Amino acid sequence: MSWLHIAVLLPLIFAVIIPIIYRFHKRLHLGWFVLPIPVVLFIYFLTYISRTSSGDNVLAHLNWMPRFGMNYDLHVDGLGLLFSLLITGIGSLVVLYSIGYLDKSEQLGNFYCYLLLFMGAMLGVVLSDNVIILYLFWELTSFSSFLLISFWRTKQKSIYGAQKSLIITVLGGLALLGGLILISLAGNTTSIHSLVEKADDIQQSPFFILAMVLIIIGAITKSAQVPFYIWLPDAMEAPTPVSAYLHSATMVKAGLYLIARMTPIFAVSEGWIWTVSLIGLITLFWASLNATKQRDLKGILAFSTVSQLGMIMAMLGIGAVSYHFNGSDSTLYVAAYTAAVFHLINHATFKGALFMITGAIDHSTGTRDVKKLGGLMTIMPISFTLTIITALSMAGIPPFNGFLSKESFIESMLHVTQANIFSLNTLGILLPIIAIVGSIFTFVYAVRFIGQIFLGQHKPEALPKKAHEASPLMLISPIILAVLVIVFGFAPNLLTSSLIEPAANAITHSSGITAEFKFFHGFTPAFFSTLVIYIVGILLILTFAYWVKILQAQPKALTFNQWYDSLGKYIPSYSANFTNSYVTGYTRTNLLWILGSLIVIAAVTLFVSPFTLNFKDVSAVRPYELVIVVIILTASTMILFARSRLFSIIMASAVGYSVAIFFIFFNAPDLALTQFVVETISTALFLLCFYYLPNLNRHNESRTFKSTNAIISILTGAVVTILGLIAYGNRHFNSIGAFYKAHVHDLAHGKNIVNVILVDFRGTDTLFESSVLGIAGLGVYTMIKLRAKHQRQTKGGHENE
């Protein structure tokens, strides 16, 4: 195992250790124990910059389940390194910020456990070179984000937001799994690096289009694109450090990472270019438009995040056009990739800072409602300064870094209309139009964000708390990010050769890409488009009170949230009614459905597929076997007429012990011993419960009741017997028993063949069975603990009364 493997697992290991530390050390804020982990990882990943900058990618291999194609393989290239630095760098600042944000009275052990779990999962997603391992980490991000969003589980909105995010992202994850399996089959490998090299083979596969659609669905659900963006605004009920980390810098960008990583495989498709680009641009427009009418500060930032993600998604879609050109023509469109990578970095800096400032404002005033805020410029001067820097960067105003990447975005949208492929030179005119309109509303909500909080009249009577500047611990992280906004704006070339160009090379799976960002490129169409954005944006701000009423008049029935809630009410209700129709709580009813289905399915199969019964190789029936059969039939028959439960228990035990004797006759002592143990335990349990069982009453059993039982029993026995005889007489393959006998010693190094089969040859089966038992045990233990806790609380409440 290499240091790279350890680096990815380190947060997961400490996710287990940190809660233990919290139990025994509560004097110092737990965040101080957590902070070194992302800091050390950030420093560690910085050491890879020199290697990825020179085009030297790192591949670390570790066998895990090679027969299933599941190896713990990690691959560090420019793209993976960029995301790793964002995950650990922003993670360090978020942990530092959370020390000031979260009081020691909170359940900090749980919080930091979930946070580290998420950090490790994200590192696994962006560094995995195995599609199955990527999927496992992908779903772990959904699970850990669910825990983080529902951290304040006493709030109904937190639970609702967590459930919504989990449902949407997990369903998208299942689509992703299907897509990954299909491209793995098409490329005959589970290695992402190898799949990219076999892109030509995959493109010729009949699975190509379906795999592309499924992977896009997985990406857009995770990155909150239209129409699946609805989970992100509700996820803002999480603590602000969670919002700053998951929903601006990391989790929501996992979908963007997936699109970028899969581009070399799918860029050849017209559907990929148009779908990814249009989804991104529509998301940019729709979310920026909705951000302008929000009253909650985190609501504004939530829709802002969605719009910015759409902007990056559109650039990744447009960049794929470069695969269809060579030379200077290709360079023209590759610039969309460098712009997308640059904006990934810029968005993490200004949006992370804005979330942290919003949390500071909430802490200091007790509200995030813009109708109650205003006039805080002199009361919170540091927060005001930080907001000016970061919000103007988000608006795309110079001299901040957001302007540079926004300008490159507009240029990319204008350049693509020159591409003489896929109708981009005709229908493609829609792309820059949507991009400019979306950018106008981005300018509007970003500028208004500043004014609504810090300008205008101060309303102390409307605030739950007396406003004051945030604590230093809550300001250090946004200050660092604001400084980066300025530095990356004035000196973008600090990032071009070290991070942006290597990441763009990784997306295109090539080398030689160059990036250049500057504030003025001359009087180009992009320059005049920016002027239009500023002028129209200012006019819309001045007339905001008039046109926002049109947005606020949107009927709820026409919103995606309303459709989600309607499905959320209809599906559970329908499912409950359908389930209650056959799950009545009676064992007999359950058996009736199960055995009846078996009979029908088997009968249809036997009728459709011709079969033969072969008695040629059937062993002779020995006299003492007939004796055991008679005993079993007699005991079974006597159970039907028993009038005492004790007698029924004895007869059932007789059947079980007789079967065990059969195993002895068939030279299977291990199975016989197991059967004896199971029957003995079952009989003992029956006798222990005997006292509590109601009296056996057969007088109320109707003739229909008895007839139904008889028919189902006889037909089930007949079906099982026929299937057994068919299976015995129609063997198309050699028995696997010969393989077990031949290799029980040399492969498994065991003597007991039954144990070897269970533990070695079928070890995965046994592992999952044990896992199920373990999960069931944890569930029972949890319910017992919750019941005991509830009883203590109820008792304490009565005593207080």
Q: How far apart are CA 404 and CA 417, in angstroms?
A: 21
C-alpha of 144 from chain center = 8
With 90 as the cut, is the pLDDT of residue 176 above it? yes
pLDDT for the residue 778? 92
With 60 as the cut, is the pLDDT of residue 227 above it? yes
Name residues whose C-beta falls within 8 Å of residue 296's C-beta, 6 or more positions apart in sequence: 236, 368, 369, 370
Indicate the range of 1-15, 446-460, 783-797 predicted with least confidence: 783-797
**721 belongs to a structural domain:** no
**pLDDT (tens digit per residue) in 622-673:** 888 889 999 999 998 888 888 777 888 889 899 999 999 988 888 888 788 8
With 60 as the cut, is the pLDDT of residue 800 above it? no
Point out the domain boundary residue: 482, 500, 518. Answer: 500
In this structure, are residues 49 and 37 in contact, taking their beta carbons and an 8 Å threshold?
no
Point out the domain boundary residue: 447, 468, 500. Answer: 500
**760 belongs to a structural domain:** yes
pLDDT for the residue 246? 85
Average pLDDT over residues 136-161: 90
Indicate the range of 277-281, 602-606, 727-731 predicted with least confidence: 727-731
pLDDT for the residue 312? 95
At 369, give phi and psi (nearest 5°): -80, 120
pLDDT for the residue 796? 61
Tell me which of 125 and 724 has the higher pLDDT: 125
**pLDDT (tens digit per residue) in 466-486:** 888 988 999 999 999 999 999
Q: How far apart are CA 254 and CA 137, in angstroms?
A: 11
**pLDDT (tens digit per residue) in 422-432:** 888 889 899 99
Residue percentage of the chain with pLDDT more than 70:
98
Tell me which of 706 and 87 has the higher pLDDT: 87
With 70 as the cut, is the pLDDT of residue 799 above it? no
**681 belongs to a structural domain:** no
At 205, give phi and psi (nearest 5°): -80, 145
Average pLDDT over residues 365-392: 92
C-alpha of 427 from chain center = 35
pLDDT for the residue 687? 81
Q: Which range among 234-238, 265-269, 577-581, 786-790 has the greatest average pLDDT?
A: 265-269
pLDDT for the residue 387? 95
Point out the domain boundary residue: 485, 500, 515. Answer: 500
**28 belongs to a structural domain:** no
Q: How far apart are CA 133 and CA 117, in angstroms?
A: 15
pLDDT for the residue 698? 63
SS (H, E, C) 378-403: CCCHHHHHHHHHHHHHHHCCCCCHHH
Burial annotation 682-691 (CB, 10 A radius, 16+ → b, else e): ebeebeeeee
In this structure, are residues 379 and 373 in contact, taking their beta carbons and an 8 Å threshold?
no
Alpha-carbon dihedral 664, 669, 671, 677, rounded to 10 degrees = 90
- Token pair for residue 88? 């650990």
Average pLDDT over residues 192-219: 93
Indicate the range of 112-126, 532-546, 603-617 predicted with least confidence: 603-617
Q: How far apart are CA 116 and CA 103, in angstroms?
A: 19
C-alpha of 426 from chain center = 38
Number of domains in the chain: 2
Q: How far apart are CA 723 and CA 701, in angstroms?
A: 32
Query: Per-residue confidence at 801, pLDDT binned at 50, 70, 90?
Result: very low
Supply the pTM of this predicted model. Answer: 0.82
Average pLDDT over residues 723-744: 80
With 50 as the cut, is the pLDDT of residue 310 above it? yes
pLDDT for the residue 752? 79
**754 belongs to a structural domain:** yes
pLDDT for the residue 762? 80
**288 belongs to a structural domain:** yes
Average pLDDT over residues 665-683: 87
Q: How far apart are CA 609 and CA 619, in angstroms?
A: 27
Q: How far apart are CA 255 and CA 312, in angstroms?
A: 11
Query: Residue 801 is which amino acid?
Result: E
Reading phi first (left if > 0) and then psi (alpha if -120 to 50, else beta), residue 398 is in beta
C-alpha of 158 from chain center = 18
**781 belongs to a structural domain:** yes
Task: Provide the H-helix boundaries in 735-762.
Answer: 737-743, 753-756
**506 belongs to a structural domain:** no
With 80 as the cut, is the pLDDT of residue 585 above it? no
Q: DSSP for 249-307?
A: TSGGGHHHHHHHHHHHHHTT-HHHHHHHHHHHHHHHHHHHHHHTT--BHHHHHHHHHHH
pLDDT for the residue 787? 82
With 80 as the cut, is the pLDDT of residue 712 above it? yes
Average pLDDT over residues 84-91: 95
Range of the domain at 417: 269-500
Average pLDDT of the chain to the nearest whole number: 88
Q: How far apart are CA 349 and CA 343, in angstroms?
A: 10
With 80 as the cut, is the pLDDT of residue 62 above it? yes
Provide the 3-class DSSP secondary structure of residue 668.
coil
